[in-house]
């Protein structure tokens, strides 16, 4: 029997660079109120959202991803040719095949990297980050580009009072590379498929194609059920990620949860008993819920504004449709 040689990977991995792209159009709550019976005060009090970005026809999933990727690659100090894999998390790329990651890889000049899409909703960035870490440690790639990108305005029912105000568009990207020391902790991830109906697409694509429904498919959710799950269950997952990394809340510098809802974020901060010195990402106020893009976009903004700095220890956690979740502790690039 032939002996298979072990992989020649690296001991650890880290995030080396981050980039983001927000569409140029800023949409205030007043635009949302043209279609639903609500108020600016109600939207802000329930979600913390004041504005969000919506993409133009030219700001496609690919175009936004290329912009964010270019910034992340430059921030990491590498060249596009050094990227060995491209992982894209999205639920709003409407071509079933080929993977949008292949088109993005070509447009950034990455050569012939491995390239594939994943569908893990709002936990997609955490899933992609975990896959990237594994590739680097295993040795199948030296540098991995992880992108979270969404055009959720294409999947928003503007007449649905429960969700019309929630979603925004954008792309966030990071470059993950080798490290002699651990800078990405163990991932605590999983799913609760028995709750999959709480966040879902209204109807399958084929129902719309066959004409059995007239309205284009959109994202819908059971708001109260999602809120309770996120507040009570995801705080436990976040604590497990801290425990897995061998640190406590006192050791944190930054907390970057999925930007779903300001009330959820504030409740998690309280449940985790985060000290006052911990910087908390609240990008949802001006960006809305961008699903897989929300964590890297929030990370990029914290670093760009100086509210967080390179070398800070951050807890990230994503959670959403599935219901799926992923949490880990990282060192910021």
Catalytic positions are 122, 258, 289
Q: Which of 113, 185, 182, 183 is nearest to 146 (CA)?
A: 113
Terminal Cα distance for the chain, rounded: 45
Query: Are residues 28 and 196 in contact, defined by beta-carbon separation less than 8 angstroms?
Result: no
Query: Are residues 25 and 176 in contact, defined by beta-carbon separation less than 8 angstroms?
Result: no
Residue 227 CB coordination number (10 Å):
17
- Measured distance CA(261)–CA(284) in Å, rounded: 7
CA 90 to chain centre: 9
The secondary structure of 124-161 as a DSSP string is: HHHHHHHHHHHHHHHTS-SSEEEEEEEEGGGG--TT-T
- Measured distance CA(204)–CA(305) in Å, rounded: 41
Q: Residues near 96 by Cβ (< 8 Å), separated by ≥ 6? A: none
Query: Are residues 260 and 300 in contact, defined by beta-carbon separation less than 8 angstroms?
Result: no
- Measured distance CA(72)–CA(79) in Å, rounded: 10
């Amino acid at each position: 029997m032939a002996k298979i040689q072990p992989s020649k990977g690296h001991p650890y991995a880290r995030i080396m660079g981050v980039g983001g792209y927000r569409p140029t159009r800023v949409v205030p709550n007043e635009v949302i109120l043209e279609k639903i019976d609500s108020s600016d005060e109600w939207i802000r009090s329930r979600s913390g959202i004041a504005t969000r970005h919506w993409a133009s026809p030219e700001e496609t999933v690919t175009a936004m991803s290329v912009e964010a990727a270019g910034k992340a690659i430059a921030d990491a100090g590498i060249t596009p040719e050094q990227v060995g894999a491209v992982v894209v998390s999205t639920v709003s790329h409407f071509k079933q095949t080929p993977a949008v990651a292949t088109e993005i890889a070509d447009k950034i000049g990455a050569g012939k990297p491995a390239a594939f899409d994943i569908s893990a909703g709002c936990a997609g960035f955490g899933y992609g980050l975990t896959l990237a870490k594994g590739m680097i440690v295993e040795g199948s790639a030296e540098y991995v580009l992880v992108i979270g990108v969404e055009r959720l305005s294409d999947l928003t029912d503007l007449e649905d009072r429960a969700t019309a105000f929630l979603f925004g568009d954008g792309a966030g990207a990071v470059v993950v590379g080798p490290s002699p020391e651990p800078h990405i902790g163990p991932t605590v991830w999983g799913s609760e498929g028995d709750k999959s109906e709480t966040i879902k697409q209204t109807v399958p694509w084929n129902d719309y194609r066959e004409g059995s429904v007239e309205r284009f498919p959109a994202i819908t959710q059971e708001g109260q059920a999602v809120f309770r799950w996120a507040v009570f269950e995801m705080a436990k997952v976040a604590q497990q990620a801290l425990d897995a990394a061998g640190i406590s809340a006192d050791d944190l510098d930054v907390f970057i949860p999925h930007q779903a809802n300001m009330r959820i974020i504030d409740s998690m901060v309280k449940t985790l008993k985060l000290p006052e010195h911990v910087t908390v990402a609240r990008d949802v106020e001006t960006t809305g819920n961008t699903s897989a893009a929300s964590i890297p976009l929030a990370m990029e903004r914290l670093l760009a504004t100086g509210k967080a700095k390179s070398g800070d220890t951050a807890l990230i956690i994503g959670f959403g449709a599935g219901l799926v979740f992923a949490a880990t502790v990282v060192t910021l690039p």
